[in-house]
Structure 1
Amino acid sequence: MLELAWPWMFALLPLPLLAMLLLPRARGLFGSALHLPHLGVQLPQQADTSAVPNTRRLFALLAWCLLVAAAARPQWLGPPEDVARTGRDLLLAVDTSGSMSIEDMQLGGGAVPRFAAIQAIASDFIERRKGDRVGLILFGTRAYLLVPLTFDLKTVGKQLLDSTIGLAGRETAIGDAVGLAVKRLRDRPQEQRVLVLLTDGVNTSGELDPAKATDLAAANHVRIYTIGVGADRMRVDSLFGSRTVNPSADLDEPMLTAMADKTGGRYFRARNSEELAGIYRVIDTLEPAADAKQSLRPIEEWYWMPLAMALAAAALAFGVPALRVRARPGIAPA
């Protein structure tokens, strides 16, 4: 059905009439008569005035009425639509430090950096969060909120795919990331606060200690699911031959485990892309399913229609040529 968002704007309709009644009329361009000094004559007053045609007045009045109608914001309300609402507000905190460039993850049959695997798999995880409000935090030397909590999952996924290693710095500020997440979630209902934190290292930067950040999260009832990313074994070739190293030697698993246990979450270990994808599926099952639906009515703005017609009416009003009242032939003495 049709509805007006600001119907009180129609109170402006009598404004031109009030202006006509209260403001003084403009005088003619040449006064009462046009003097011709060289000829010693003057033209009568009837020859210098122009009457505004009624057609122009009607078009001007129509344009004003249409402008007021556009200002009232006509809207078309569609039929109610059920939208799933899970009641969760989920923040995804992703490590973008320099170590995320290590190519020890497999994706599509080839080795890819850790961050590339997270981008590909987390994007699919985000798309499946229909009904959740999802936000994105990137942390390195500092922690930044890249996308606030929103139902626009497409935007969250795109922002993650457009992010790069080192965007937030080359070090790892895990405590700051948790503190920022708590700040953004603490005003939400208690049972809705979820943080999924992905990192491949140990806290090396930031102002907030991870232990204090964990206490802050527990006090504000924020559940933290921590994911340690990185393979346990990696073959490295050099001039002296190849050797096997542990690229995840710096991963602080005890800290991540304690962080999850204290807040009611869970710690996961992702050594490859398959395990990472499986972790996201587990998180889906650990969080409650959609428990309610909201009924929303789509709103389509129609203000542009009367606005376009007002512009057309104004163009016609100015386009109508002025009809002059022809003076009778003859001249009057000066």
Structure 2
Amino acid sequence: MSMATAMPWQAWPDLQLVWPWWLLALPLPWLALWLLPAVRSGAAALRFPHEARLRDIAGNGARARPLRGPGPLLWLAWALLCVAAARPQQLGEPVQPPQAGRDLMLALDLSGSMQEPDMSLGGRPVDRLTAAKAVLADFLDRRAGDRVGLLVFGRRAYALTPLTLDRESVRQQLQDSVVGLAGQETAIGDAIGLAVKRLREESGEEQRDEDKVLILLTDGVNTAGLLDPRKAAELARDNGVRVHTIAFGGDGVMSVFGFQLPMPGGGDEIDEATLQAIAEATGGRFFRARDTAQLAGIYAEIDRLEPVERPGPALRPRIERYVWPLAGAFALALLSFLLAGWRRR
């Protein structure tokens, strides 16, 4: 016998029954036929002159002849019907559908300077955080297919949401963020370090380096934290995380009815050189936004980056096979009834 010859049970690889307990119904017709009491007849169907002799021969109150039961075709039809009810399925060949998207981490500065009302939104003055939230919410609407995470930083850095496809939960956490939630100072280096740690831990092994992106928005200078921003940039580069940095903040003036008015405490210094060095070291880009319109344009430009195709998780489609035993049961039952009618004729 050749080794290449398939054994009978190998003809249907990966065959499984979804509801195997239906096979317990196989002996039900046999049990009903043999366990139910036989029919007794007390009335004489035919009168005969020698009734007494016949009664002595057959016995008074004789049991009627047992039912013959269904034929072999009906038995086989019932068995196939039970197999069909058990819902056999076969696993198809594994397929890997392509999936477009990135692992994208958003880092938002919540230090005290983010409450400066030097931005405009819808024709009314707003603080920097409110303007950033509006732009980020619009940015999230366009990132279908990405796994997005959110972290905030001030004196310390905190991850609010892990990488997830549920952009609505990210948007809700974004809207609930307030100035000072993470402290009044600015820990840019710690924010980058935490983002790299989360991207490394939560990205799968199949995730390529060019798919991991951090977008960091800040309006100040690194004044807190344990990790130097430039050292954090090296850590991001070594882990394949591309960092886009956005310096956000006005020039210390606000336009009111066409007049440029100085803002109290405005014109805070932004360390553009460090932010630019971080972006260059990791293969990202540095942006400067002085108003809401410029910030929206920056996120629109980042949004235009082409998503990288990567294979999704391997899936094995389930192929329903109950149709075949069901069709066989119907054909056998029909054939049995046709043969019964032919025999009667």
Contact 2:115 2:179 in 1 (8 A): yes
Q: Which has the higher strand share?
A: 1
Q: Secondary structure at the match of 1:149?
A: strand
Counterpart in 1 of 2:174?
160
Q: Secondary structure at the match of 2:304?
A: helix
User: Which of 201, 216, 219 is residue 220 of structure 2 equivalent to?
Assistant: 201
Change (3 A) 1:128 1:290: farther
Counterpart-to-counterpart distance in 2, 1:294 and 1:274: 39
Change (3 A) 1:246 1:275: farther
1:253 matched to 2:267: no
Amino acid at match of 1:92: L
Shift of 1:288: 2.8
Q: Secondary structure at the match of 1:146?
A: strand
Indicate the structure whose relative CO is greater, using CA pairs within 8 Å and at least 6 residues apart: 1
Counterpart-to-counterpart distance in 2, 1:288 and 1:130: 10
Counterpart-to-counterpart distance in 2, 1:293 and 1:93: 26
Q: Secondary structure at the match of 2:277?
A: helix
Shift of 1:274: 0.8
1:224 matched to 2:238: no
Counterpart in 1 of 2:104?
90
Shift of 1:244: 7.0
Counterpart-to-counterpart distance in 2, 1:194 and 1:173: 19
Counterpart in 1 of 2:293?
274
Structure 2 unmatched ranges of 5 or more: 1-16, 22-95, 317-345
CA-to-aligned-CA distance 1:112-135 (integer Å, 9 cap, x gap): 000000111101111211000000
Question: Aligned pair count?
Answer: 222
Shift of 1:284: 1.4
Q: How does 1:1-334 map to 2 (within 5 A)?
A: 85-187=99-201, 188=203, 189=207, 190-235=209-254, 243=262, 247-288=266-307
CA-to-aligned-CA distance 1:248-296 (integer Å, 9 cap, x gap): 4410000000000110000011111111111111101234366677798
CA-to-aligned-CA distance 1:227-252 (integer Å, 9 cap, x gap): 01111240599xxxx65789344100
Counterpart-to-counterpart distance in 1, 2:98 and 2:131: 29
TM-score after normalising by structure 2: 0.58
Change (3 A) 1:108 1:235: closer
Change (3 A) 1:245 1:172: same
Shift of 1:191: 2.1
Contact 1:83 1:131 in 2 (8 A): no
RMSD: 3.3
Change (3 A) 1:162 1:95: same
Counterpart-to-counterpart distance in 1, 2:98 and 2:253: 44
Counterpart-to-counterpart distance in 2, 1:210 and 1:128: 29
CA-to-aligned-CA distance 1:194-233 (integer Å, 9 cap, x gap): 0000000000111111111011011111100000111124
Q: Which has the larger radius of gyration?
A: 2
TM-score after normalising by structure 1: 0.60
Counterpart-to-counterpart distance in 1, 2:247 and 2:264: 17
Counterpart-to-counterpart distance in 2, 1:164 and 1:83: 40
* Identity fraction in percent: 54
Q: Secondary structure at the match of 1:186?
A: helix
Contact 2:119 2:254 in 1 (8 A): no
Change (3 A) 1:221 1:186: same
Amino acid at match of 2:145: G
Change (3 A) 1:274 1:83: farther
Contact 1:141 1:173 in 2 (8 A): yes
Q: Secondary structure at the match of 1:259?
A: helix
Amino acid at match of 1:146: L
Shift of 1:168: 0.7
Counterpart in 2 of 1:42?
none
Counterpart-to-counterpart distance in 2, 1:105 and 1:269: 14
Q: Secondary structure at the match of 2:215?
A: strand
